[in-house]
Amino acid sequence: MSGAEQPLLICGTRSFAEEIADVVSETPGFTVAGFVENLDRGRCAEPLLGLPVHWIDDLEPFAKTHAAVCALATTKRRAFTQQVEERGLAFATIVHPTARVSQLSELGAGTIASVGVIVAAHSRVGRHVVLNRAALVGHHTTVGDHVSLMPGANVAGNCRVGDGAFVGMGAIVLDNLEVGADAVVAAGAVVTRDVPSGAQVMGVPARVVPGAHGPR
């Protein structure tokens, strides 16, 4: 561990937080300093992976020295990131050494590019996005804030993925399509036409599930 490493607080205390701690442990420039809980204060009573768990209201003393990243696998992390921002912490961008992000593309603050992720050229990935294991983002694609691309998801070139959308494990979004804000693409689905905001689609080809809605 070098003195230049940024202490990092991982927001979340469930299994995905442990997964992200592992990703961070292999990412140069950061060291995991603890976890943050915002729902169940009882979870702060015991360490997680040998590290302290801090209650959300106790974060302000860390604002000048620590960065944060949110490790919730669902788009519900929007409320959590807002709470952390209100307490003055900046968010880190985590890019695992095995991820390949084009120098012509950009990732927003709080975004995680996990093991084996590829982001092609001229793409923009927003803030607090989870690019889970081996997720692919094609060229000239825009991914909004708080989006989740689950393991093996493949969003092709010239696409737009709206804020808060969720693209499930192994799903494919073909070129030149739009996935609307807060939409859900089910695991294994193949998206061949635009997905309306708030809709849920599944199947091959993907079709809207009547009466179903994405996360709010």
Active site residues: 139
Q: Which residues contact 163 (CB under 8 A, 6 or more apart)?
A: 126, 144, 145, 146, 147, 181, 182
Indicate the residue type of 194: D
Find the DSSP H helices in 105-177. Answer: none
If you ran DSSP here, which 8-state letter would residue 5 be given? Answer: P
Contact status, residue 91 vs residue 107, Cβ threshold 8 Å = no
How far out from the chain centre does Cα 82 lie? 14
Residue 102, token pair as written in the block: 């084009």
Residue 97, token pair as written in the block: 């050494």
If you ran DSSP here, which 8-state letter would residue 51 be given? Answer: B
Indicate the residue type of 159: C
Distance in angstroms (rounded) separating the CA atoms of residues 100 and 96 = 9
Distance in angstroms (rounded) separating the CA atoms of residues 148 and 72 = 10
Sheet holding 136-137, edge to edge: 100-101, 118-119, 136-137, 154-155, 172-173, 190-191
